[in-house]
Amino acid sequence: MMQKPDDTRPRSPAAGPVSAPGGWPVVGHAPALLTRRLEFLSSLAAVGEVVRIRLGPVPAYVVTHPALVRRLLVPGDQHYDRGLLMEKSSTWFGDSLLTSYGESHRRQRRALRSAFTGEHLAAHVRRVRDETQKVVGSWTPGRAFALDEHMNDLALTSVARSLFSTGLTTEKLASIRHHMPVLFRGVLARTAMPNGWDRLPTPGNLRFRTSMRAMDALVNDVITARRAEHPDPEAPGDVLTSLLAVRDDNGAALSVRAVRDQVMTLLVAGSETTGAVLTWALYEIFRHPPIEDAVRRELDEVLGNRDLTLERLSSLTYLEKVISETVRRYPVPFIMRRTLRPVRLGEVDLPAHAEIVFSPYILHHDRRWFPQPRQFDPDRWSPDRSDPPAKDAYIPFGAGVHVCIGRRMALAAIATSLAVICSTQRLEPAADRPIREVATGTVHPDRMPMIPRPVSPTGVGRATR
Ligand code: HEM
């Protein structure tokens, strides 16, 4: 019988956190986190609900129980800031929705909210459909290609088009596709470097700086050009339109720097996350013929020859279960917070300025909440299941005030791309060796070469009614 995360357990007096085994002198648990991150993090649920680890000399507390993670997230963020990782990232991405907390975060969230709903979402679906058709059109039947690279690129292109629908020339888009992956990986690597190392003239640092300068120039260019335009009130807005329309209490617009910080953050937060989920969803669909058949059958029944729209996506209920299961099985590996003041979490007293780690991956792979957690089973999400999954332990997009602002955009984009691809293609693994899960900012495959085999079309995306 599956358990439910229970936060009404009797509390005993405060005790210290348990320490994770296997820490080394000086470096602590950093080697385990660097070399076998998922295995190490997953092992901590059996150690305790709040487990003390050491990131070199810095202690951090890993929260493994869903009820405590909810308490960390849901009441709001008056007790916590975003922690070490986001503090370091803000050196490069500035003050944005992803790095801020408290009043500044509330203001930014209010300003950005409308850019992720309504007509913006419908326009995003149309853009993603068109971009996915271009990607599929670039595949040669029978010739292997790197699915993970194509899906990351598709996700990045789609987010970039939704940020600045007009003003994105082919040249600028090519530049974004070249430089953003360097920044995405570079920022994460630099958060783990000792202070000052990123200023040394190593080839990696020079490449990173070149890409940062190129992206800064490009984004500043687009912002300046857009500000000089007279906006067409009939044109479908993009995220940049919303950002430029923001006014503070004194009626002043955001500075170019403030808009740049949000744009860079959204490109980072929205691209490889979406790309990784798309890659894994396709991998799982084509590994399980009954799932593939069910997806194609539904596409045929629901869409037939009709065009793919935001409204019609909501009728693809089996595809929705496939996506729910993909973000359960392959979620973000870890997120950080830091206490602003002493806090009691469960039975553990944490001091002020304590670094906290929680992991959707740990929660989603804990068999107390999700039986047979490594098994890919979309039917766990069927409403008529007698043993429904523990919703409280399910946080693929976080929870509370910082819940992912791009969640609906990501889910709609993933469903759109899957519908377009699965309606005409079957993908076969091009290599025999097993695929390894690698945890960086996302959980992604070490590589995923696939061979496309066209199948008779279900009709999706061919008609334009
Ligand atoms: C499948 C794709 C995605 C996944 C799995 C994902 C996951 C997450 C998670 C777990 C958080 C919570 C972080 C925290 O609590 O600190 C988050 C926040 C955020 N995400 Fe996403 N995300 C996805 C797509 C997107 C997209 C498409 C965008 C925008 C283009 C986006 C922008 C953001 C932003 C700005 C935040 C910070 C929100 C805040 O603090 O108010 N994400 N995301």
pLDDT in tens, 219-264: 999 888 888 876 655 555 688 888 888 887 788 888 889 999 999 9
Q: Per the structure block, which two tokens stand in for 415?
A: 């469903």
- Check pLDDT > 80 for residue 416: yes
12 lies in a domain?
no
Last residue of a domain, one of 368, 395, 422: 395
- Among the listed ranges 168-172, 209-213, 372-376, which one has the minimum average pLDDT value? 168-172
Last residue of a domain, one of 395, 415, 449: 395
Query: In the prediction, which pLDDT does 92 show?
Result: 85
CATH, residue 378: 1.10.630.10
From the CA of 331, give the closest atom in ligand 1. Answer: 5
156 within 8 A of 215, measured Cβ to Cβ = no
Q: Cα-Cα-Cα-Cα dihedral of 104, 106, 107, 112, to 10°?
A: 120
Task: Assign 3-class secondary structure to the chain.
Answer: CCCCCCCCCCCCCCECCEECCCCECCCECHHHHHHCHHHHHHHHHHCCCEEEEEECCEEEEEECCHHHHHHHHCCCCCCEECHHHHHHHHHHHCCCCCCCCHHHHHHHHHHHHHHHCHHHHHHHHHHHHHHHHHHHHCCCCCCCEEHHHHHHHHHHHHHHHHHCCCCCCHHHHHHHHHHHHHHHHHHHHHHCCCCCHHHCCCHHHHHHHHHHHHHHHHHHHHHHHHHHCCCCCCCCCCHHHHHHHCECCCCCECCHHHHHHHHHHHHHHHHHHHHHHHHHHHHHHHHCHHHHHHHHHHHHHHHCCCCCCHHHHCCCHHHHHHHHHHHHHCCCCCEEEEECCCEEECCEEECCCCEEEECHHHHHCCCCCCCCCCCCCHHHHCCCCCCCCCHHHCCCCCCHHHCCCCHHHHHHHHHHHHHHHHHHEEEEECCCCCCCEEECCCEEECCCEEEEEECCCCCCCCCCC
Q: Per the structure block, which two tokens stand in for 121?
A: 């979402």
My answer on whether 141 and 247 are in the same domain is: yes
How many residues are listed for the chain in this entry?
A: 465
From the CA of 267, give the closest atom in ligand 1. Answer: 30
Query: In the prediction, which pLDDT does 82 show?
Result: 92
10 lies in a domain?
no
My answer on whether 84 and 114 are in the same domain is: no
My answer on whether 235 and 310 are in the same domain is: yes
25 lies in a domain?
yes
Query: In the prediction, which pLDDT does 235 show?
Result: 58
For the beta carbon of residue 82, count every other beta carbon within 10 angstroms: 20
Percent of the chain, pLDDT > 70? 92
My answer on whether 275 and 153 are in the same domain is: yes
Query: In the prediction, which pLDDT does 170 show?
Result: 87
Q: Among positive and negative, which fits the CA dihedral 379, 385, 389, 391? A: positive
- Among the listed ranges 28-37, 185-194, 335-344, 443-452, which one has the minimum average pLDDT value? 185-194
My answer on whether 70 and 175 are in the same domain is: no
- Shortest CA distance to 165 belongs to which of 244, 101, 240, 65? 240
Q: How confident is the model at residue 464 (pLDDT cuts 50, 70, 90)?
A: very low
- Check pLDDT > 90 for residue 210: yes
pLDDT in tens, 278-330: 999 999 999 999 999 999 999 999 988 888 999 999 999 999 999 999 999 99
My answer on whether 232 and 352 are in the same domain is: no
Percent of the chain, pLDDT > 90? 62
Measure 89 CA to ligand 1 centroid, in angstroms: 15
Measure 404 CA to ligand 1 centroid, in angstroms: 4
Determine the residue of 69, 265, 273 to mutate for testing ligand 1's pocket, defined as the one with the most ligand atoms within 8 A of the Cβ atom. Answer: 273
Average pLDDT, the chain: 89
My answer on whether 305 and 177 are in the same domain is: yes
Say how many domains are in the chain: 2
My answer on whether 222 and 88 are in the same domain is: no
Give the pLDDT mean for 157-184.
88
Measure 403 CA to ligand 1 centroid, in angstroms: 7
Q: How confident is the model at residue 462 (pLDDT cuts 50, 70, 90)?
A: very low
193 lies in a domain?
yes
Q: Is 49 helix (H, G, I), strand (E, B) or coil?
A: coil
- Check pLDDT > 70 for residue 14: no
269 within 8 A of 98, measured Cβ to Cβ = yes
Cα–Cα distances in angstroms (integers) from residue 192 to residues 59, 87, 158, 195, 236, in the given order: 14, 12, 29, 9, 41
Give the pLDDT mean for 52-59.
87
My answer on whether 129 and 80 are in the same domain is: no
Q: Per the structure block, which two tokens stand in for 42?
A: 């997953």
245 lies in a domain?
yes
Q: Among positive and negative, which fits the CA dihedral 424, 430, 433, 436? A: negative
Print the domain residue range for 55. 18-94+333-395
Measure 266 CA to ligand 1 centroid, in angstroms: 9
From the CA of 400, give the closest atom in ligand 1. Answer: 15
My answer on whether 224 and 258 are in the same domain is: yes
My answer on whether 151 and 62 are in the same domain is: no
More confident residue, 4 or 84: 84
From the CA of 336, give the closest atom in ligand 1. Answer: 16
Minimal-distance CA residue to ligand 1 atom 20:
404
Measure 109 CA to ligand 1 centroid, in angstroms: 12
Instruction: Write out residues with Cβ below 6 Å of ligand 1.
Output: 97-98, 109, 159, 265-266, 269-270, 273-274, 277, 327, 332, 335, 396-398, 402, 404-406, 409-410
Query: In the prediction, which pLDDT does 463 show?
Result: 42
Measure 200 CA to ligand 1 centroid, in angstroms: 31
Measure 259 CA to ligand 1 centroid, in angstroms: 18
Measure 273 CA to ligand 1 centroid, in angstroms: 8
119 lies in a domain?
yes
Minimal-distance CA residue to ligand 1 atom 12:
398
More confident residue, 403 or 116: 403
My answer on whether 280 and 405 are in the same domain is: yes
Measure 398 CA to ligand 1 centroid, in angstroms: 8
Last residue of a domain, one of 395, 416, 447: 395
Determine the residue of 95, 327, 404 to mutate for testing ligand 1's pocket, defined as the one with the most ligand atoms within 8 A of the Cβ atom. Answer: 404
More confident residue, 460 or 222: 222
355 lies in a domain?
yes
From the CA of 271, give the closest atom in ligand 1. Answer: 27
More confident residue, 378 or 93: 378
